[in-house]
Structure 1
Amino acid sequence: MKKILSLFVLSTLFSCGSDDSATPSTPEEQMYFPPIGSTVWETKSIASLGWNQSQVQPLLDYLESKNTKSFIILQNGKIVMENYFNGHTSTDTWQWNSAGKTLTATVTGIAQQEGLLNINNKVSDYLGTGWTSESIDKENLITSRHLLTMTSGINDENDLVTITNMIYLADAGSRWSYHNVFQKLMDVVAASSGQTYENYFNSKLKNKIGMDGFWNNGIIYKIYHSNTRSMARFGLLALNKGKWNNEQIINETYFNESISTSQNINPSYGYLWWLNGKSSYMVPGSQTQYNGFLVPNAPAEMYAAMGASDQRIYIIPSKKIVIIRMGEASDPTNPSFAVSGFDNALWEKINAVIN
């Protein structure tokens, strides 16, 4: 028997009185933010949105068959679907993998708005020279912005970020290559703020939006772990361009840069965010440029955090939708580092529900 916890709660309907002859147009629903330090999270029903209830079970069946542990859809901040599979629960934590890169991009932007760093300055301004094995003149070409955009030029044959592995392959800015050297941004934030990266992250981002979770030292780099609702909280912040309730956590100008094409090599990449709807894209581990959208079945406007084994945060601004998927790799025989065919197949199922 499938062990699926489904949450579809009917919204409460409010009327404005019995005389509808002069009823004004319905005001736009205000964006909802779940309270900090509480498990309370308002919900709305699929029926109230006019979505296709008959396609929900096929979506859930597909998710379960693809080793999913949890799945959430928010609309305007409220939970429409919240499902857990294969014994996973709402309080269990799971790793974000590279979807957590977007956390680092956000915290880097916060440090910049506080005047602690400038992403256009060279990394050695903060870490000192010799943080790579490149010659000083080549190392000094690398800025924090290059780390944000995957254009450091550091050799990508070994993802273990040690000084001996960080050797020259191309001038910074001349080559897009997905590489874990992005984690040096954590060191830049720590050095510029005078505190550990975790402490800065917790005070400037995690605590402000009510996330749980922790950074764990993985085999290759630090990986964030949290429950699924915490990932959804960050997705809600991203939907609102860095604003949580009445506080602008990360300035909108920087966030908009983050979800825009960041260089002229891979148009589908921002500041550690993946972008749909562009003319072409590249994928980790390859220098091939593929024509077309990153995820053809997904809305062109979508931006996404994507991590190994199909950890996902999808953001659809026009529909005010955030979608979270956490779990094991959808295809254990061919686990992806970020983008995979799973996205397109999943979006076919999602579209059947929300369109």
Structure 2
Amino acid sequence: MKKTGWAILLALCCIGGYLVLPSNYYLRRALIHLLPEIDQYPIFENRTVKAGNPQPWPESKAYNKLSVPEKFQPVFEDLGTVAFVIIKDSTLLFEQYWEDYSPHSRSNSFSMAKSIVSLAIGCAIDDGFIKNVDQPVNDFYPEFKGYNGKALTLRHLLTMSAGVDFDEAYSSPFSPTTKLYYGDDLQQIALGMKEIEEPGIHFIYQSGVTQLLALIVEKATGENISSYVSRKLWTPLNAEEDALWSLDKKDGIEKAYCCFNSNARDFARFGQLILNKGNWNGKQLVSESYIKEATTPDTNLIFKEYNETNHCYGFQFWHLTYKDMEIPYMRGILGQYVFAIPKLNAVVVRLGHKRSDTRTAQHYPDDIDTWLGAAIEIIQKSTNNQRESE
């Protein structure tokens, strides 16, 4: 065998030996499955988020009498939209599905799950399990001692201003983000983050921080986050279908920063809860004050990537201004969105395979303009048609 052949064989053996190390379990899975996809939940262990009192959305009188406006359709198709739902005045106004998706099809929330974790924190505060958002993290996990005498608090985790060393990198198979998604020890990753700068200064988006928040929910409440969310949110919200929350291993912990798998109609309930200021059918599921703070950007922070004041992020909820409308929303990396539009008393859900790679001046992906533009046009035309028929 030539020297080059031996060198290649040796390199392959080294790579193979490296991959079979127990610590590289996540890397083997990453190489098998490559980039995340919206319907990958069957490759993971999952825990059921029980829908204990299902009730369908009432249909609007104008239900599905209109279509997605033609000018928006190319973007819907190019970015692989699989579901588009509009709730108006607490009724189902419009829905459309593509490929083999239906009202019952589960799809990964990706980072929309971060907003669900935030709501769970709000519930735990209301229940008295957590004192308030300014409670120190080291009350739950002494590993986090603070930085230069300044305590790390839940507020810092919620606003992504924790000052920890988690590297949010999606293209590298060696990044902690990849380890979170494909790994089998989320707790080790979350509790292994190091405090490297003063918290409460910079907004830096970090999935590991949300995973730590979920661990705090579990430690504070004494139950896994799937059970707590089912009891405090999913069942009271009258979700129609059980959700699945993907785990790091069998009987493990939830990939809480992502991987809440449900359908568009049920995802819309979180948007309606925001519109209702935490109330559902007369019951306050999350305090109004928490909802307000969660959906309001923390302008005390500097958005480090752009070196400017943060105007886009609250407590694990995004925020944007569109045509003079203030819109809090949930967002996932492959174009998963739940928009709450108070000015129109409407919720818009878009699920799909991709989102745009370009950003607006407000730093949000510009495909959002398509989803909001299409939804608002449908809402306005439906309203005008109804008025003309009366």
Give the TM-score normalised by the residue count of structure 1: 0.74
Please say if residues 330 and 339 of structure 2, whose CA atoms lie closer than 8 Å, have aligned partners that are also in contact: yes
**CA–CA separation in structure 2 for the residues paired with 1:75 and 1:99:** 21
State which of 148, 151, 169 in structure 2 corresponds to 1:141. 151
Alignment match, 1:251: 287
Letter in 2 for 1:172: P
Alignment match, 2:76: 63
Alignment match, 1:120: 134
The 3-state SS of whatever aligns with 1:79 is: strand
Q: By how many angstroms is 1:347 displaced?
A: 3.0
Alignment match, 1:280: none
State which of 101, 114, 131 in structure 1 corresponds to 2:114. 101
Alignment match, 2:232: 204
Please say if residues 247 and 255 of structure 2, whose CA atoms lie closer than 8 Å, have aligned partners that are also in contact: yes
Runs of at least 4 residues of structure 1 off by over 6 A?
none
**CA–CA separation in structure 2 for the residues paired with 1:139 and 1:108:** 25
Q: By how many angstroms is 1:66 displaced?
A: 1.9
**CA–CA separation in structure 2 for the residues paired with 1:163 and 1:144:** 14
Please say if residues 309 and 335 of structure 1, whose CA atoms lie closer than 8 Å, have aligned partners that are also in contact: no
**CA–CA separation in structure 1 for the residues paired with 2:341 and 2:128:** 31
Alignment match, 2:30: none
Deviation sequence 1:288-345 (CA, Å, 0-9, x none): xxxxxxxxx45431111111111001111021010000111135xx499x94121123
Structure 1 stretches lacking a partner, 5+ long: 1-34, 278-296
The 3-state SS of whatever aligns with 1:208 is: coil
Q: Where does 1:1-355 land on structure 2 (aligned, <5 Å)?
A: 36-39=53-56, 41-45=58-62, 53=66, 56-60=69-73, 62-117=75-130, 118-127=132-141, 129-130=142-143, 137=147, 141-157=151-167, 158-159=176-177, 160=180, 162=189, 166-180=193-207, 181-211=209-239, 212-217=242-247, 221-222=255-256, 223-265=259-301, 266-277=310-321, 297-331=322-356, 334=357, 339-355=364-380
Q: By how many angstroms is 1:156 displaced?
A: 3.5
Q: By how many angstroms is 1:234 displaced?
A: 1.7
**CA–CA separation in structure 2 for the residues paired with 1:348 and 1:246:** 32
Q: By how many angstroms is 1:54 displaced?
A: 7.5
Letter in 2 for 1:119: V
**CA–CA separation in structure 1 for the residues paired with 2:146 and 2:298:** 25
**CA–CA separation in structure 2 for the residues paired with 1:47 and 1:69:** 16
Q: By how many angstroms is 1:196 displaced?
A: 1.6
**CA–CA separation in structure 2 for the residues paired with 1:139 and 1:82:** 52
**Percent identical:** 24
Structure 2 stretches lacking a partner, 5+ long: 1-51, 168-175, 181-185, 302-309, 381-390
The one of the two structures with greater contact order (alpha-carbon pairs below 8 A, sep at least 6) is 2
**CA–CA separation in structure 2 for the residues paired with 1:311 and 1:205:** 20
Please say if residues 151 and 176 of structure 1, whose CA atoms lie closer than 8 Å, have aligned partners that are also in contact: yes
Higher helix residue share:
2
Please say if residues 358 and 366 of structure 2, whose CA atoms lie closer than 8 Å, have aligned partners that are also in contact: no
Aligned length: 291
**CA–CA separation in structure 2 for the residues paired with 1:46 and 1:207:** 25
Deviation sequence 1:169-203 (CA, Å, 0-9, x none): 31111211000112211111111111222211111
The 3-state SS of whatever aligns with 2:198 is: coil
Q: By how many angstroms is 1:146 displaced?
A: 0.6
**CA–CA separation in structure 2 for the residues paired with 1:167 and 1:86:** 43
Q: By how many angstroms is 1:56 displaced?
A: 3.1
The 3-state SS of whatever aligns with 1:146 is: helix
**CA–CA separation in structure 2 for the residues paired with 1:335 and 1:109:** 33
